[in-house]
Amino acid sequence: MTDTIFQKIIDKELPAEIHYEDDICLVIKDINPIAPTHLLIIPKKSIEKISDSNKEDQELLGHLFLVAGKVARDLGVEDAFRLVVNNGADAHQTVFHLHIHLIAGREFSWPPG
């Protein structure tokens, strides 16, 4: 299987605006933001989509949410942000390496489209 764009960014083969990095994940700015703040929280472990994760990923998945909260606090958007995970092409997943969108800085509507 060929590497996804995110794998290449993790491996530093492609550039990205990195907001945060640790041993487990990378947080980058989305190249095509849909809000004033639009970051992607990407685990370094390659998991295609959330429905492919399993029990052994429990700690990793928890870490991604803790990082989301930390990043939101760092940016001062902790009172209003949205986390989105698209799972599968029909749910508009376009990069098949698990990632969480962190979106903030504009009004939200509900239900999401």
Active site residues: 99
Which of 76, 93, 73, 77 has its CA nearest to residue 85? Answer: 93
Rounded Cα distance between 44 and 75, Å, is 22
Is residue 86 at the binding interface for ligand 5GP, with CB under 6 A as the rule? yes
Is residue 12 at the binding interface for ligand 5GP, with CB under 6 A as the rule? no
Among residues 3 and 30, whose Cβ is nearest to ligand 5GP?
30
Long-range contacts of 15-21 (CB under 8 A, 24+ apart): 19/71, 20/67, 20/70, 20/71, 20/74
Report the side by side order of strands in the sheet with 100-104: 18-21, 25-29, 37-43, 100-104, 81-84
Among residues 55 and 91, whose Cβ is nearest to ligand 5GP?
91
Report the amino acid identity of residue 112: P
Among residues 14 and 66, whose Cβ is nearest to ligand 5GP?
14
Is residue 31 at the binding interface for ligand 5GP, with CB under 6 A as the rule? yes
Q: 42 has which bridge partners?
A: 26
Is residue 92 at the binding interface for ligand 5GP, with CB under 6 A as the rule? yes
Is residue 7 at the binding interface for ligand 5GP, with CB under 6 A as the rule? no
Is residue 16 at the binding interface for ligand 5GP, with CB under 6 A as the rule? yes
Binding residues for ligand 5GP, per CB under 6 A?
5, 16, 28-32, 40, 86, 92-95
